[in-house]
Amino acid sequence: MLNTLRDITQSVASAHTLELALESLVIQTKSAMETDCCSVYILEQQLLVLSATDGLEKSAVGRVRMPMSEGLVGLVAEREEAINLADAHLHPRFKLFPEANEDEYRAFLAAPIIYQKQLLGVIVVQQAKARQFNEGEEAFLMTLAAQLAMAIRGLKRRAEVHSVDSQVLFHGTCASSGVAIAHALVIGGEISLSQPEVTGTDIDAEAQRLRQAIGRSQDALLALAQRFEGDQDEELSSIFLALQTLLDDESLGGDYLREVRLGWSAESAVSRVSLRYVAQFEAMDDAYLRERASDIRDLGQRVLRQLIEPGRMNLDPDKPVILVTREADTSMLAEFPRQKLAGIVTELGGVNAHAAILARALGVPAMIGVEQVLQAELDKKLLILNAGRGLLMVSPSPSVVDEYRNLLSAQKAMARQYAEELKEPALTLDGHRIHLYLNAGLMSGVATDIAEGADGIGLYRTEIPFMLQQRFPSESEQIKVYQSVLQSAEGKPVVMRTLDVGGDKPLPYFPISEENPFLGWRGIRLSLDHPELFLVQLRAMMQAAGDSDKLKILLPMVSSIDEIDEALLYLDQAFNELKADVNPALKRPPIGVMLEVPALLFQLDEVAKRVDFVSVGSNDLTQYLLAVDRNNPRVSGLFDSFHPGILRALRRALKECSDYQLEVSVCGELAGEPMGALLLVAMGYTQLSMNQASLAKINYLLRRVERRELEQLLDLVLQMSNGQDARELVREFLSSRELASILG
């Protein structure tokens, strides 16, 4: 049974059109269930349309249409549950469609096809003999309907998209609001290093293709090296330079070419050489040499991408693009030149995945969960992305483009208005000073205007410098990075978080394979298991700060008091060693923990005895309190920081921190959302840390409200039973103060 189910599901999923898929579905289901008839009805504009059948009159396909209020099929759709009848003719809802030639069938079993609460259609099996279908048959049909739902929904979407030529529309979830008008750059998913072994027919032509691909990869690496050199990041620059030389004829490049001369296609040649070297390096005892496997892998993938998707990343310097891809990862976005990136559209990803946070930090409109977008051949087409509304338009008409250009200039004018006040402090109308800090570190290099308007850096994520390297950065390399961060803050405080890799931020050279990475080896857990790495990071941070008192150190993903105690021992060790050996004037930095694992909320008394401050990571706190993966588009509708449970937890955290005199800030995305910031201020938070793009907006907003009125608003919000109603109340408040345009 399982095999039959799998075969049917696979053949539906691999069909190119909805018609073909349904055709094969009815034939295979009828045969698998040994019945006389199988039909599928698809819901189109509130009508159930007979879309494929094996048993009814073929000419009725497309012609039999019924509203949900009619017939037995309508009843299944209406009730959203299966119906199993020994004799359908006896049921009061039975309706005969003469054109379908249905009167010979008595037994009737039907199941709704539902994808994520949305009814797509109904599958029906019928038999001439009056008999009840047995439980096994009923279960089979229901399982089949559930398994097919996703494939049918995908094919249905594709059919809808292709049928509207002049104004193709895609829908998705907003990850970073804003509007972009630009041409598409479609970049396929991950390119596997294991390519099929294919022999080349024309050796010279293959060698020529390979040379071109190597040349383009070398150009791209050189450009990266120059960019990082421009950003004063010499370490990174020299790494890309070294990688570029590795592709020379005397090195890997020559090995690839030799394989082509032996008769392999260019792709097979790169794949064969890469896999061979990766295996050899990974088997080595020396840790440094073992890590070189990731260089080989990286280079192989770069050259393969140039062979398989030639010219993808060769961007026209004058034209920004809307990047369309399966799933953007942080290092891909960090490498992408900001001025070329007008917007981001992805099939996968979550609203609070780090790539989405990065898009917001960069102020780039982004939309995620856009199904079938990679199949739609969008490359080089003109797109309008209205991320706030969850809309992507393909090849829009000139009048629509004009309309959006006007909208864009209105938005730019608003942004200028917000920026004008950035130098003024965030002071509410009734005189409460809110300190606004910057979240930094998701971009390579540090934004030069970091200090403007911010009271300091409230969260510096150290992961990216680690992710862009080919190995763990050395102590001196880290010191340089951290020094540049401290310098950019121009004497204002900087909260540096120790490494929080794992989850959706893997290190290319330190692969971690886990079933549930967000519940796994992440943040402080990894650091405490590798004191040699942790100590280097702590030493580097403290040396970068020297005798300045501006550095604070923050520990991520803390879930127990023991972890804090252990981390403090390492901090003491690193501090005492440095003070004795390197700098007697060294300052011991204040230490804090992220409040993102719910259990810690209930131990704030113990936390307060040990650390100087806490920072609420509302992204992870929401993920863990609601048990909703922040990266999974299927459940992104459930990821809601306005959920009353989350709001109450945040209020309670603040109250307890005040009781224990523990300094507290919020550095999750909620702090940078206008509605979130209002509620946090209402609760009494006075330190909010957010990305550069939100800073001016939140400052502008807070300068126009009274905390007193926000407290009243909060009282009402906390009486709501769900997040949606809570948001609605805040939106109404903003409208009543003529501030709703800040929501974009």
Catalytic machinery residues: 354, 667
Taking the complex as a whole, the smallest distance from the CB of residue 355 to ligand PEP amounts, in Å, to: 11
Per-residue mark of binding to ligand PEP, 340-359 (x: CB under 6 A): -----------------x--
Query: Mutual orientation of helices 287-308 and 203-230 as an angle, nearest 10°?
Result: 120
**Residue 346 contacts which entry, ligand PEP, Mg ion, none (Cβ below 5-8 A, type-dependent):** none
User: Half-sphere exposure (CA, 13 Å, Cβ side) for 272?
Assistant: 18
Taking the complex as a whole, the smallest distance from the CB of residue 621 to Mg ion amounts, in Å, to: 8
Smallest CA-to-CA distance from 308 within 454, 480, 187 is with 187
- Beta carbon nearer to ligand PEP, 204 or 514: 514
Distance of CA 399 to the CA centre of its chain: 33
Buried b (16+ CB within 10 A) or exposed e, 669-694: bbbbbbbbbbbbbbbbbbbbbbbbbb
**Per rule CB under 5 A, is residue 463 in the interface with Mg ion?**
no
Residue choice 295, 500, 563, 656 for contact with ligand PEP (CB under 6 A): 500
Per-residue mark of binding to Mg ion, 546-585 (x: CB under 5 A): ----------------------------------------
- Beta carbon nearer to Mg ion, 54 or 620: 620
Q: What is the residue-wise DSSP string for 545-602? A: HTT-S-EEEEE-S---HHHHHHHHHHHHHHHHHHHHHT-TTPPPPPEEEEE-SGGGGG
Taking the complex as a whole, the smallest distance from the CB of residue 383 to ligand PEP amounts, in Å, to: 28
- 455-484: contacts with ligand PEP (CB under 6 A): 459, 461
Number of Cβ within 10 Å of residue 720's Cβ equals 17
Q: Residue 251 forms beta bridges with which residues? A: none
C-alpha–C-alpha distance, residues 668 and 684, integer Å: 16
Question: And the tokens for 555?
Answer: 């520990």
Q: What is the SS3 assignment for 461?
A: strand
- Beta carbon nearer to ligand PEP, 597 or 713: 597
Judge contact between 466 and 239, C-beta under 8 A: no
Taking the complex as a whole, the smallest distance from the CB of residue 519 to ligand PEP amounts, in Å, to: 13
Taking the complex as a whole, the smallest distance from the CB of residue 469 to ligand PEP amounts, in Å, to: 18
C-alpha–C-alpha distance, residues 731 and 272, integer Å: 58
- Beta carbon nearer to ligand PEP, 558 or 682: 558
CA angle 724, 725, 727 (to 5 degrees): 65
Taking the complex as a whole, the smallest distance from the CB of residue 180 to ligand PEP amounts, in Å, to: 24
Residue choice 445, 493, 617, 672 for contact with ligand PEP (CB under 6 A): 617
Residue choice 619, 641, 694, 699 for contact with ligand PEP (CB under 6 A): 619
**Per rule CB under 5 A, is residue 504 in the interface with Mg ion?**
no
**Residue 306 contacts which entry, ligand PEP, Mg ion, none (Cβ below 5-8 A, type-dependent):** none
Question: And the tokens for 264?
Answer: 């392999």
Q: What is the SS3 assignment for 43?
A: strand
Distance of CA 614 to the CA centre of its chain: 26
Taking the complex as a whole, the smallest distance from the CB of residue 671 to ligand PEP amounts, in Å, to: 9
- Beta carbon nearer to ligand PEP, 172 or 617: 617
**Per rule CB under 5 A, is residue 620 in the interface with Mg ion?**
yes
**Residue 668 contacts which entry, Mg ion, ligand PEP, none (Cβ below 5-8 A, type-dependent):** ligand PEP
**Residue 39 contacts which entry, Mg ion, ligand PEP, none (Cβ below 5-8 A, type-dependent):** none
Taking the complex as a whole, the smallest distance from the CB of residue 318 to ligand PEP amounts, in Å, to: 34
Scanning the structure block, which residue is given the tokens 């009781």?
659
C-alpha–C-alpha distance, residues 79 and 81, integer Å: 5
C-alpha–C-alpha distance, residues 488 and 741, integer Å: 32
What Cα–Cα distance (Å) separates residue 442 from each residue in 169, 191, 438, 446, 524? 31, 24, 11, 9, 19
Residue choice 112, 365, 502, 617 for contact with Mg ion (CB under 5 A): 617
Cβ neighbours for 63, distance < 8 A, ≥ 6 positions apart:
50, 99
Residue choice 620, 640, 656, 673 for contact with ligand PEP (CB under 6 A): 620
Residue choice 618, 631, 687, 692 for contact with ligand PEP (CB under 6 A): 618
Judge contact between 189 and 242, C-beta under 8 A: no
Q: Which stretch binds ligand PEP (CB under 6 A): 17-25, 110-118, 618-626, 727-735?
A: 618-626
Taking the complex as a whole, the smallest distance from the CB of residue 521 to ligand PEP amounts, in Å, to: 15
Give the count of residues interacting with Mg ion (CB under 5 A).
3
Judge contact between 341 and 332, C-beta under 8 A: no
- Beta carbon nearer to Mg ion, 341 or 353: 353
Alpha helices in 370-510 (DSSP H): 398-420, 463-467, 475-488
C-alpha–C-alpha distance, residues 685 and 694, integer Å: 17
- Beta carbon nearer to ligand PEP, 149 or 558: 558
Q: Which stretch binds ligand PEP (CB under 6 A): 146-154, 401-409, 613-621, 732-740?
A: 613-621
**Residue 206 contacts which entry, ligand PEP, Mg ion, none (Cβ below 5-8 A, type-dependent):** none
Name the strand (E) or helix (H) holding 344. strand 341-346
Cβ neighbours for 596, distance < 8 A, ≥ 6 positions apart:
556, 557, 616, 617, 618, 619, 620, 621, 624, 668
Give the count of residues interacting with ligand PEP (CB under 6 A).
11
Q: Which stretch binds Mg ion (CB under 5 A): 4-12, 323-331, 618-626, 718-726?
A: 618-626
- 44-73: contacts with ligand PEP (CB under 6 A): none
Residue type, 605: D
Q: Residue 126 forms beta bridges with which residues? A: 37, 108
Q: Which stretch binds ligand PEP (CB under 6 A): 186-194, 246-254, 342-350, 612-620?
A: 612-620
**Per rule CB under 6 A, is residue 596 in the interface with ligand PEP?**
yes
Q: What is the SS3 assignment for 263?
A: coil
**Per rule CB under 6 A, is residue 687 in the interface with ligand PEP?**
no
Residue type, 349: G
**Residue 355 contacts which entry, Mg ion, ligand PEP, none (Cβ below 5-8 A, type-dependent):** none
Please report the sign of the dihedral spanned by the C-alpha atoms of residue 93, residue 98, residue 100, residue 101: positive
**Per rule CB under 6 A, is residue 329 in the interface with ligand PEP?**
no
**Per rule CB under 6 A, is residue 522 in the interface with ligand PEP?**
no
Taking the complex as a whole, the smallest distance from the CB of residue 689 to ligand PEP amounts, in Å, to: 8
Taking the complex as a whole, the smallest distance from the CB of residue 618 to ligand PEP amounts, in Å, to: 5
Q: Residue 664 forms beta bridges with which residues? A: 614
Number of Cβ within 10 Å of residue 453's Cβ equals 20
Taking the complex as a whole, the smallest distance from the CB of residue 175 to ligand PEP amounts, in Å, to: 13
Taking the complex as a whole, the smallest distance from the CB of residue 519 to Mg ion amounts, in Å, to: 13
- Beta carbon nearer to ligand PEP, 35 or 618: 618
- Beta carbon nearer to Mg ion, 538 or 593: 593
C-alpha–C-alpha distance, residues 731 and 712, integer Å: 14
Per-residue mark of binding to Mg ion, 96-125 (x: CB under 5 A): ------------------------------
How many helices and strands (H and E) does the chain possess? 24, 22
- 641-670: contacts with ligand PEP (CB under 6 A): 667-668
- 595-614: contacts with Mg ion (CB under 5 A): 596
Judge contact between 267 and 304, C-beta under 8 A: yes
Buried b (16+ CB within 10 A) or exposed e, 274-297: bbebbeebeeeeeeeeebbbbbbb
Q: Which stretch binds ligand PEP (CB under 6 A): 25-33, 59-67, 283-291, 617-625?
A: 617-625
- What residue ranges bind Mg ion (CB under 5 A)? 596, 617, 620
- What residue ranges bind ligand PEP (CB under 6 A)? 357, 459, 461, 500, 596, 617-620, 667-668
